[in-house]
Structure 1
Amino acid sequence: MELFDMNTEQQEFRKALRKMLEKEAFPYFKEWEEQRDIPRAFWEKLGEHGFLMPWVEEQYGGLGVDFSYSAILTEELEKVGVGVSSGISLHADIVCPYIADYGTAEQKEKWLPKSVAGQLISAIAMTEPGAGSDLAGVKTVAKRQGDYYILNGSKTFITNGGKADFIVVVCKTDPDAKPAYRGISLLVVEADTPGFKRGKQLEKIGMHSGDTAELIFEDAKVPVSNLIGQEGKGFYYLMDKLQQERLLVALQVMVEAEEILKLTIQYVKERQAFGSRIADFQNTRFKIAEMATEIDLGRSYVNQLVQKHIQKEEIVKEVSMAKWWISEMAKRVAAECLQLHGGYGYMEEYEIARRYRDMPVTSIYAGTTEVMKGIIAKKLLD
């Protein structure tokens, strides 16, 4: 099912992007997974062709278009693999919107044009060893001293953390604020900041080509001019942007479920057992029918949400519903499809194995399933 009824410009954008990925991504993705890295040259090619951050205003190098183009980019990257889409989508549609919407003119000029070109890679540092979904519980502290903040703390599970040129860091500028979330601010830490260092690259079950790292700040000296928006308003900025982040994750896992089912349908039609195609067994047919139904239901829902988000509607409850249900559904689909592949599904040479191990984390990052249910309940009951 298509994302929506696309106009000519959107169709051409998708067509050109697919052509570029067929040449520059699909042939190399297995190698990137093995190397645990997406080369910077690929980011730059996306930027060179105008695919990266098309929503940015033309004065900063973008196309000035709406979120539909970001949705198209996310979908097509996800068809290559979540290791590609996770870091690029985070940079393009999760981190850089903080700069575009809350940054000063100087900050936009400094970071947006090169981000659009793929010459700068960004990350956002929320999670800490002792604080995951509880953003108000972060312990990283920034104390102002003249024209600088002195930043201390550590972050973990940071997508793009190993190669990011600048990082939006969630920190406490007022550790004594009551309630705690009123003390949160967003600071941009650049790669060459004194006192900033990267910890180890983290070895994950899946998403092997995705860069995930630890970050350490020991008296890191961050210019006050790198404060995003107002001091103490960081939590509000985060809440404002999490709708788009979670919608993107829902869209990513929606594509994963579709791709996994497509692989499995092809496999069961070709593979034989007991003298018949696996596709001819009643159990197989029922399983395929059940999964196709859930996938179509999820796709219809997420498509509606994309349209509402483009129209700037407040859909926090609905996005939370989509994020938890589609990620859990995609995990079920991955498990069922692996089973239908039999022993071959457990072999790395089959794509289903990689997509299966990529799935579990999608119900954890960007807010766990449990957190999503809490948000939905709050919207309905409080």
Structure 2
Amino acid sequence: MIAKDLFDEREELRSLVRNFTCKEIVPHLAEWERAGEVPRELHKKAAGIGLLGIGFEHGDLIDSVVVTEEVIQAGGSSGVIAALLTLGIAIPHIWQSGNQDLIDRFAKPAIGGEKIGSLAVTEPGAGSDVAAITTKATKQGDHYVVNGAKTFITSGCRADFVTTAVRTGEPGYQGISLLVIEDGFTRRKLDKMGWHCSDTAELHFDDVKVPAKNLVGEENQGFVQIMRQFQVERITLAAQAYATAQRALDLTVGWVRNRETFGKPLVKRQVVSHRLAEMAMKIDLARTYTRETAIRINRGEDCVTEVCFAKNAAVETCAEVVDAAVQLHGGMGYMRESEVERHYRDARILGIGGGASEVMTELAARRLGFA
């Protein structure tokens, strides 16, 4: 079965997500952007219809991508996905560890909308270079003592628990572990360009005691766990990118059909219609490649190179399309009341989060034997 069929046949899921987005997200999104966060009640409502359990208790990566596509194309945003679906990066390591105690205390409450989880890897001095993290966890009896800092942590202000990359061993990738930290640390909310409805924090750990039972998997095996999940995170970011581009194109087509200049609709101008065709072409190429790669990941294939290609291609397409969307909207595209303005702001993070575009290119070059 080809990718188009696999994605299109999930119409019942699309309808569910579309209705939820139109009813529970779109009417409140501007308010949440001003507030700087989404309410906890939204997590409970999403859990109530099974959205938070997709990819864990039911469904697979294809379903997760469908959810991402539909939230954005129904009028949501990549920012609201980051805020609502943070569990997608916070609990996979816990879920795959098979540790029933951790699953019961953290993963299941997150799936049920009762707790909000976060993932803390990036530090002030280490981003895409995960092996360079310095936040240290020292084992003392039945607990660890954690010292260090994390930054740019999605949902870090609201999180009830943070799956945290810490150094428990020697320098480099061999000495990294994952600990679930619940409290005892300080948080500072960060102000940023986009994703306004998704809170982002800087976390500081000063002799924070963490029970040893909160270790995820084996000690010093955290780097492997993080790298394994990067494929999924990056492919969903690619989906956010092409879905945002598609939404921006749809909004722009509606605008240029109705906006008249010098006696006829903008869409009748060849320079405009050709621009729209180019936008549609690039979106379709990014979507097709990303979906095919998602299917391969779902089958358990090693697709590191292809994921790098998919993310970079989708991000580049999104950047070009949202810029053109604002341009074709004219002055209205620059206004906060315009939806394309929000997509323009939100799109900028997609080439940074989950591994910068430059890092994706370097990783692909190495995998191909070019570097």
TM-score, length basis structure 1 = 0.92
For residue 172 of structure 1, what is the aligned residue in structure 2? 167
For residue 293 of structure 2, what is the aligned residue in structure 1? 305
For residue 55 of structure 1, what is the aligned residue in structure 2? 55
For residue 64 of structure 2, what is the aligned residue in structure 1? 70
Q: Are 1:183 and 2:183 counterparts? A: no
Residues 7 and 81 of structure 1: is their aligned pair in 2 closer, same or farther, counting only changes over 3 Å?
closer
Does the residue aligned with 1:171 lie in a helix, a strand or coil?
strand
Q: Is the 8 A contact 1:103 1:228 kept in 2?
A: no
Q: Is the 8 A contact 1:198 1:214 kept in 2?
A: yes
Q: Are 1:197 and 2:186 counterparts? A: yes
Q: Is the 8 A contact 1:185 1:233 kept in 2?
A: yes
Give the counterpart letter for 1:26 in structure 2: V
| Structure 1 runs not aligned, ≥5 long | 57-61
| Structure 2 runs not aligned, ≥5 long | none
Give the counterpart letter for 2:25 in structure 1: A
Q: Is the 8 A contact 2:42 2:84 kept in 1?
A: no
Measure the CA separation in 1 of the matches of 2:316 and 2:84. 23
Q: Is the 8 A contact 1:154 1:217 kept in 2?
A: yes
For residue 83 of structure 1, what is the aligned residue in structure 2? 79
Runs of 4+ in 1 over 3 A off after TM superposition: 6-10
Residues 95 and 348 of structure 1: is their aligned pair in 2 closer, same or farther, counting only changes over 3 Å?
same
For residue 102 of structure 2, what is the aligned residue in structure 1? 107
For residue 314 of structure 2, what is the aligned residue in structure 1? 326
Q: Is the 8 A contact 2:3 2:292 kept in 1?
A: no
Q: Are 1:220 and 2:220 counterparts? A: no
For residue 34 of structure 1, what is the aligned residue in structure 2? 34
Measure the CA separation in 2 of the matches of 1:14 and 1:262. 17
Measure the CA separation in 1 of the matches of 2:311 and 2:112. 30
Alignment partner for residue 95 of structure 1, among 62, 86, 90?
Answer: 90
Question: Once the two structures are superposed, what CA deviation does each residue of 1:324-362 show, in whole Å capped at 9, x if it has no partner?
Answer: 121121111111111111111111111111111111111
Measure the CA separation in 1 of the matches of 2:47 and 2:21. 13
Question: Once the two structures are superposed, what CA deviation does each residue of 1:291-310 show, in whole Å capped at 9, x if it has no partner?
Answer: 11111111111111121122
Give the counterpart letter for 1:197 in structure 2: T
For residue 270 of structure 1, what is the aligned residue in structure 2? 258
Q: Measure how far apart 1:87 and its partner are.
A: 2.6
Q: Is the 8 A contact 1:170 1:185 kept in 2?
A: yes
Measure the CA separation in 1 of the matches of 2:248 and 2:269. 19
Q: Is the 8 A contact 2:7 2:62 kept in 1?
A: no
Measure the CA separation in 2 of the matches of 1:350 and 1:224. 49
Give the counterpart letter for 1:40 in structure 2: R
Q: Is the 8 A contact 1:74 1:89 kept in 2?
A: no
Measure the CA separation in 2 of the matches of 1:288 and 1:74. 23
Alignment partner for residue 238 of structure 1, among 193, 215, 226?
Answer: 226
Q: Measure how far apart 1:3 and its partner are.
A: 6.8
Q: Measure how far apart 1:103 and its partner are.
A: 4.4
Does the residue aligned with 2:139 lie in a helix, a strand or coil?
strand
Aligned CA-pair RMSD:
1.7
For residue 284 of structure 1, what is the aligned residue in structure 2? 272
Measure the CA separation in 1 of the matches of 2:10 and 2:176. 38
TM-score, length basis structure 2 = 0.95
Q: Are 1:24 and 2:12 counterparts? A: no
For residue 59 of structure 1, what is the aligned residue in structure 2? none
Measure the CA separation in 1 of the matches of 2:102 and 2:225. 16
Give the counterpart letter for 1:245 in structure 2: E
For residue 43 of structure 1, what is the aligned residue in structure 2? 43
Question: Once the two structures are superposed, what CA deviation does each residue of 1:77-118 show, in whole Å capped at 9, x if it has no partner?
Answer: 233111211133331x22211111024121112222211111
Matches within 5 A, 1:298-377: 298-377=286-365
Residues 24 and 130 of structure 1: is their aligned pair in 2 closer, same or farther, counting only changes over 3 Å?
same
Q: Measure how far apart 1:7 and its partner are.
A: 8.6
Measure the CA separation in 2 of the matches of 1:354 and 1:283. 25
Measure the CA separation in 1 of the matches of 2:361 and 2:226. 19
Does the residue aligned with 1:356 lie in a helix, a strand or coil?
helix
Does the residue aligned with 1:158 lie in a helix, a strand or coil?
strand
Does the residue aligned with 2:5 lie in a helix, a strand or coil?
coil
| Bigger mean CA offset, 270-279 vs 147-156 | 270-279
Question: Identity over the aligned pairs, expressed in percent?
Answer: 38
Q: Measure how far apart 1:135 and its partner are.
A: 0.7
Residues 268 and 209 of structure 1: is their aligned pair in 2 closer, same or farther, counting only changes over 3 Å?
same
Q: Are 1:207 and 2:202 counterparts? A: no
Measure the CA separation in 1 of the matches of 2:7 and 2:314. 27
Q: Measure how far apart 1:182 and its partner are.
A: 0.5
For residue 118 of structure 2, what is the aligned residue in structure 1? 123
Measure the CA separation in 2 of the matches of 1:103 and 1:165. 21
Does the residue aligned with 1:42 lie in a helix, a strand or coil?
helix
Q: Is the 8 A contact 2:3 2:291 kept in 1?
A: yes
Measure the CA separation in 2 of the matches of 1:42 and 1:82. 16
Give the counterpart letter for 1:38 in structure 2: V
Does the residue aligned with 1:296 lie in a helix, a strand or coil?
helix
For residue 150 of structure 2, what is the aligned residue in structure 1? 155
Question: Once the two structures are superposed, what CA deviation does each residue of 1:150-208 show, in whole Å capped at 9, x if it has no partner?
Answer: 0000111000100011101111011x34xx11011111001xx33x1212x11111111
